Amino acid sequence: MFIMTNADLTSISADQVAAWLRKHPHFFDEHPTLLTHLHLSHDTQAASLIERQVTQLRRRNEELEERLNHLISIASDNDRLFGQLRDVMLGVLDAESAAQLGTRLFSALREPFGCEQLALLLFRDQCELPWRSCVQAEFEQRLPGLLRHHHALAGKWRRDELRYLFGQEGLQLSSAALIPLINDDHAVGVIALGSTEASHFRSSMDTLFITHLGDIIARLMARLDRGAALPA
């Protein structure tokens, strides 16, 4: 049995390889995957149709693979987020007061969303902790657009905006997600999630699920308010 060494390989000339391939014209039929690893340098006009097709197919395959990986990543993120929101909702649905709802939100949202700071704002003159009373007109002046568009926003915010939302601790934050609480087109408050990592809450992230979370929390608040207003 003949064993070819590295020295033998380096001694083979390009002409010898070409001659061998001419004697074995079906080599690439038997080893088609090798075509995707070939890199041909030539004048476009001299390129054969098959060579150009191979190049185009290789490029298309790379694009499709990249797109597939992106879709798989999105699906995985959505599945994880859906599970997190399900756990949050199960933890707050039976809250008996606004204060209890706020306390449960504090414990339910921090860890799943990886946020160092959490602020619960209500557009009321008075509210129970952990909710914080906030004037809606001032909020809209400082953070225009959030309540008007009725969907959550994420990304980087100015230092004065973060301080307004989270207090002095907001100066340590780099990104945040703001979830409006909307019930029947009426804004009742905002949930703010803050992170020290600039890339944690990105402007490109999908906010559909957390927008729905805000809608559900707003409806829960309305139900609790009606219950509190009933005579004992």
Query: What percent of the chain clears pLDDT 90, i.e. is strictly above it?
Result: 25
Q: Specify if 163 maps to a domain.
A: yes
Residues 112, 172 share a domain: yes
Q: Specify if 3 maps to a domain.
A: no
The answer to whether 176 and 199 are in contact (CB under 8 A) is: no
- The reply to whether the predicted model has a pTM over 0.85 is no
Please say if the pLDDT value at position 195 is more than 90: yes
Query: Average pLDDT of 191-208?
Result: 90
Domain count, the chain: 2
Q: Specify if 5 maps to a domain.
A: no
Residues 99, 78 share a domain: no
Q: Specify if 52 maps to a domain.
A: yes
Domain that holds residue 35: 14-82
Axis-axis angle for helices 49-92, 98-113 (nearest 10) = 150
**Beta strands 153-155 and 175-183: pairing type?**
antiparallel
Please say if the pLDDT value at position 193 is more than 80: yes
62 or 25: whose pLDDT is higher? 62
Residues 204, 123 share a domain: yes
Give CA–CA dist 170/19, Å, rounded.
72
103 or 56: whose pLDDT is higher? 103
Residues 104, 189 share a domain: yes
